[in-house]
Structure 1
Amino acid sequence: MALRVGVVGCRGIGTTHATSHKNDELAELVAVCDVVKQRADDLAAKLNVKAYYSQREMLANEDLDIVDVCTGGPENGGWHFEPTIMALEAGKHVLCEKPISNDINEAREMVRLAAKKDLYLGVNLNHYFTAPADQAMQLIKDGKIGEIIYCHHRMGFPGSEWTYARTAGPNMEGQPYFHVKAFLAHPFSLMRYFCGDVAQVQAFMGKPSFRIKEADPMVSVNSIHMRFKSGATGYMFSSRGDTTMSLGGWWSIEVGGTKGTFVIENCTERLIYQPAHGNPEAGETPKGLGQAPAPIITDTGEKDFGSTFPRRIHCFLEDVTNKVPKPKLRASGRDALATLEYTFAAIQSYEQGGVTVLPAALPFFKPDPNNL
């Protein structure tokens, strides 16, 4: 039986989520909700479902299995807490947009309550719900990367001083850490997905002179160094329209190990697997400085980043339908909390002149004796 879903928040991202549920065989989109009546009415009419203007009223009148929280708010996560808590208190599973919250204490409470209620809390960390990410993870599982040594991730909106326009709107204006909180959940989630938990964070941040000239408060350039608990090192660069990256486009991640390296370009588009020197499957290694075995390149043909949304949402529906153990939930609230802990550690490091910061420990998962 399809899971009955209600979507809260009917702007662009809410429309994307609602449409994904509408088109997924595992879901029955029942209702959409927004405090702005016109937005709710327009989306409800488009998808032929009921419109609500109060989440409390929607919960009282609809027998829902899942509430999908697509509200925005300050720094794009400021309004996630209340609708998520309300849904969990009502006994509903929740899928929440990223970042899980813009407030670390709120995020911790969301994860705590979901665990207490024994409910699924997922977050839209959609950047690794792609064919290249699946293929890269399989390389790791097959032992073709070996012990991971490093991870480099670059992600940012392309731009320049010619294209700069001050970011406006109540969710962004006057928020120096808007980009940091709203965006870094994605690169942190990718790096953790491939390399595990982060033990130490050091951050250097800033903004280019054209932003300073306009008294733009946004800390738009983020340079973050980290050490994973495994001992691997990591580096992440992110910017918000301040520069245009070349190799790898707007998005690239490189993970290198003792047996091989992979690079994913533009999230959905391409996987490059580079066997290491001496790797038996690579054949004879060319001689000479900088020479390496020929890479194995897989082009997916998928150029549409939007394809990540229905795929990620389907995986959440699949996990809830199959009643997977809570620790096995893909892109869980706990996973999203990890990205926010790293984000706040990076902010603390930056504010203290680049000191090394230890992210707060994640909540412990109590083992389920039925799934040992």
Structure 2
Amino acid sequence: MAVKIGLVGLNGIGNLHAACYQEEELADLVAVCDVVKERADATAEKYGVKAYYSLKDMIENEPDIEVVDITTGGIDNGSWHFEPAMEAIGYGKHVLVEKPLCHDIREARELVAFAEKQRVYLGCNLNHFFTEPAEKAKQYVDNGDIGELVYCMAKMGFNGGVDNYGLAGSPKVKGHPYFHMKAFLTHPFSVIRHFCGDITHIQTFSDRPGFRRSAGDVMVSINSIHMKFANGGVGYLLSQRGDAAYGLGGWWSLEMAGSKGTFCIENCVEKVSYWKAEKGIPAISQQPEPVVTDFGTTDFNRTFNNRLHAFLEDVSNRVPLDQLRANGRDALAVLEYTFAVIESYESGGELVRPHPLPPLHGDPLFMK
């Protein structure tokens, strides 16, 4: 049976979610909500659902809603997530929140704790590993084809350079030094953690190029982040916001190397290559060709369909709360890493240990 959904926030990405729900057999979009009446009315008319202008009115007038999907934005793309998420959870509704989970780390911790207390699903749209290349790469990991983690290298950013630059005028971006960190690092950190596990140490060297400084732009847009994982492996993440042209691997690449093999995903949705670590590997100039799986995909927006389907599938199957894919705790983890990056930057590149995650208590309805 389809899950009844109320969608909150219709400025851009909310309409993308609405379009995905129209293709999804597990979804039944019954109402939309936005404080800007024109937005709510336009989406409601397009999809033949009821429009509301406050979350309270939507929930109280549509009691059959099971999931509230929150796609509001705000400062750093996340300052309008906390209040509607807390309100929906207070009504006992399951919640899916766009990334980042929250704008403020203290709010994020409170939100995750409240969802656990209310025993509802809290998910976040960490959609970058809901792809065919990531699924294939995870098979390499789970089948033992990677072995013990040695290193992880990730590069994610935007195509750009000085000739493409323009000072952002939006109040959610302009004047906020950590917009790129808070709005974007959630994605690479979530993918890295998906494959490599928890991060225990972080150090960053971050800055902004001269053309941003000359324009009075305060955004810390270049991030060179070093990581150590709980399993002993090490990692590196390079992220930039349109300060340079793409290089090898495109806008999104992830290389995970282990004692038995290495994989590399290029351009997120496109392809994954695998190199097996065999005895007698030849010299550098004779490096064997990898096994390449090219999925022929270029439409990144399909990751939204994949992720929303996974969330609704988990809700429909009533999986244990802590087994919800890309759940609130996962989103909190990557936000803790982001705030560790900010702390390291503010302390001149010092080593930082991210704030520990809340303990897992286990779901009493499933654990025996």
Structure-2 separation of matches of 1:74 and 1:174: 10
**SS at 1:39's partner residue?**
helix
Equivalent residue number for residue 142 of structure 1: 143
CA distance in 1, matches of 2:231, 2:162: 39
Distance 1:203 1:290 in 2: 34
Instruction: Say which SS state the counterpart of residue 163 (structure 2) adopts.
Output: coil
Letter of the 2:272 counterpart: L
Aligned partner of 1:164 in structure 2 is: 165
CA distance in 1, matches of 2:275, 2:287: 8
What secondary structure, in the 3-state scheme, does the structure 1 residue paired with 2:79 have? coil
Is the counterpart of residue 336 in structure 1 residue 336 in structure 2? no
**Residue 355 of structure 2: aligned partner:** 360
Output aligned runs, 1:93-132, within 5 Å: 93-132=94-133
Task: Map 1:1-372 onto structure 2 (within 5 A).
Answer: 1-63=1-63, 64-278=65-279, 285=281, 287-369=282-364, 370-372=366-368
Mean Cα displacement is larger for which, 239-248 or 124-133? 239-248
Q: Give unpaired runs (5+ residues) of structure 1.
A: 279-283
Task: Confirm or deny: 8 A CA contact 1:4 1:28 kept in the other structure.
Answer: yes
Give the counterpart letter for 1:342 in structure 2.
Y
Deviation (angstroms), 1:316: 0.1
**Deviation of 1:327 (Å):** 1.3
- What do the CA deviations read for 1:29-83 (whole angstroms, capped 9, x no partner)? 0000000000111111111111111111001100210000000010000000000
The change in CA–CA distance for 1:347 and 1:290 in structure 2 (over 3 A counts) is farther
**Secondary structure of 1:350's match?**
helix
Superposition deviation, residue 169 in structure 1: 0.5
Contact persistence 1:277–1:293 (CA under 8 A)? no
1:294 to partner: Cα distance = 2.0
Output the CA distance in 1 between the equivalents of 2:134 and 2:209: 32
- Asked if the contact 1:5–1:21 (Cα under 8 Å) also holds between the matched residues in 2, the reply is no
One-letter code aligned to 1:117: Q
Does the CA contact (< 8 Å) of 2:128 and 2:303 recur in 1? yes
CA distance in 2, matches of 1:158, 1:277: 36
What are structure 2's unaligned runs of at least 5 residues? none
Residue 326 of structure 1 deviates from its aligned partner by 1.0
Structure 1 residue 290, shift from structure 2 partner: 4.8
Contact 2:322 2:363 in 1 (8 A): no
State the percentage of identical aligned residues: 54
Structure 2 length as normaliser, TM-score?
A: 0.98
- Offset of residue 292 of structure 1: 2.7
Equivalenced residue count is 366
| Cα deviation, residue 178, structure 1 | 0.4
* Structure 1: distance between partners of 2:247 and 2:286: 22
TM-score under structure 1 length normalisation: 0.97
The amino acid of 2:13's aligned partner reads I
Contact 2:158 2:246 in 1 (8 A): no
Matching residue of 1:281:
none
How far apart are 1:342 and its partner, in Å?
Answer: 0.3
Cα distance, 1:125 vs structure 2: 0.2
Q: Contact conserved, 1:275 with 1:293, CA < 8 A, in 2?
A: no
What is the alpha-carbon distance in structure 2 between the residues aligned to residue 265 and residue 344 of structure 1? 27
